[in-house]
Amino acid sequence: MKNNNSKLEVADVFRLYGESFRQNNPLPNSQLKVMRHIEICRTAALGGHVEQCSDCGLERISYNSCRDRHCPKCQTLVKEKWLNDRKAELLPCGYFHMVFTLPHDLNPIVLCNKKVALSILFAAVNQTLQAFAKDPQWRLEGQLGFILVLHTWSQTLMDHFHLHCLIPGGALSFTKDRWIPANESFLFRAKSLAKEFKKRYLSLLKTAYHKNELIFPGNTAQYESRKEFDLLIQSVSKVKWITYAKRPFAGPEQVLEYLGRYTHRIAISNNRIQSIDNGKVVFTYRDRANNNELKTMSLTAGEFIRRFLLHVLPARFMKIRYFGFLSNKNKGEAIQLIRKLTDSDVEWPEKEKETVIEMLFRLTGEDITRCPECKKGKMGVIQRLPKTYNSS
């Protein structure tokens, strides 16, 4: 039993109830690995080192992190390094934030075909945005650049597949001799984007189906029939797809703050867990339908684990991707060109080379090498601890 008098973690749920869940639910290796990594993160199983103070002799043990991208404890340093790299890529313009969401009727298909169906999501959004940028009615007629960030969850941990889009407010002309600024408060009409996004996503999904790239195990086996699949496509074609634009960012600081909040999120953070007791997990969530009111939800441990595992991504699947003039092959040249075309005299930050110690000091104001006891000596490694966990 654990309650809110102690610091609670997703790892505690897995340690207490994970083995029972695994025995009663056949799981793919990808999900088994994530569970195991989270369970042993910062424990003796992953090894570590012993440190000793140079002044008072205090000794302490530090265990290694699992570094799994689904682990609630392993995202901070990865996020900060990523943010540092993005600082050097900011442009002298406003930024737009848009969200493209798949209808929940497609969730069974996506859950069985994450790599294919989610890759199609990225492709459909890219095609949609670039098609609008080329269309004269939107007064850009150039190439956009943008970052797409995949989220797969709702606040209650249910499957909710959507892309957050960060878009600099303008286009680079196809001749690469002009920067065409967008309206400061408006990029494209959201309803028009949603219609085009729907058309392109379903077209790509049907192509994948006809190439036999989709699988339908378990309770989605009905879609193996061409007729049933066509009926599903017809059904989701009739519903309203959701694309919406959030308020544009006022400047680079807001852009970085956004990136820090959204890019390296996982389905649930440890600080949302309120109690773990009697086979139940209680956690907080924001009720989007009720002005983001903070509420609590109680789930059985098994249901909590099931929902968490819905959001395990395929191995090596990139959930942050770059397109247009911000694509990896283009941005090095394009960013410098756009800054030159806009005659920007702003001094843009360069990538900083920070050690982990320097980064933690910047984030927390604490020097982790200083002895926590005497506050004078420096902690130095005196012994390495081997890991006992074999991932093979």
Helix (H, G, I), strand (E, B) or coil at 389: coil
The 10s digit of each residue's pLDDT in 177-206 is 999 999 888 899 999 999 999 999 999 999
Q: Are 280 and 265 in contact (CB under 8 A)?
A: no
Q: What is the CATH number of domain 86-267+310-341?
A: 3.40.1310
Q: Where are the domains of the chain?
A: 10-69+353-385, 86-267+310-341
Query: Rounded to an integer, what distance in angstroms lies between the CA atom of residue 95 and that of residue 164?
Result: 13
Complete DSSP assignment for 208-254: HHHTT-----GGGGGGGSHHHHHHHHHHHHHSPPEEEEEEEE-SHHH
Average pLDDT in the chain: 91
Strand arrangement of the beta sheet that strand 142-143 belongs to? 142-143, 170-173, 179-181
Query: Rounded to an integer, what distance in angstroms lies between the CA atom of residue 326 and that of residue 89?
Result: 9
The 10s digit of each residue's pLDDT in 231-251 is 899 999 999 999 999 888 877
Q: What is the pTM of this model?
A: 0.92
Q: How many CB atoms lie within 10 A of CB 117?
A: 22
- State the pLDDT confidence band at 88, using cuts at 50, 70 and 90: confident
Query: E strands of the chain, at which residues?
Result: 48-53, 59-63, 95-101, 142-143, 145-153, 159-168, 170-173, 179-181, 242-249, 273-277, 280-287, 293-300, 320-324, 379-385
* Whether residue 2 has pLDDT greater than 60: no
Q: How many CB atoms lie within 10 A of CB 177?
A: 9
* Whether residue 5 has pLDDT greater than 60: no
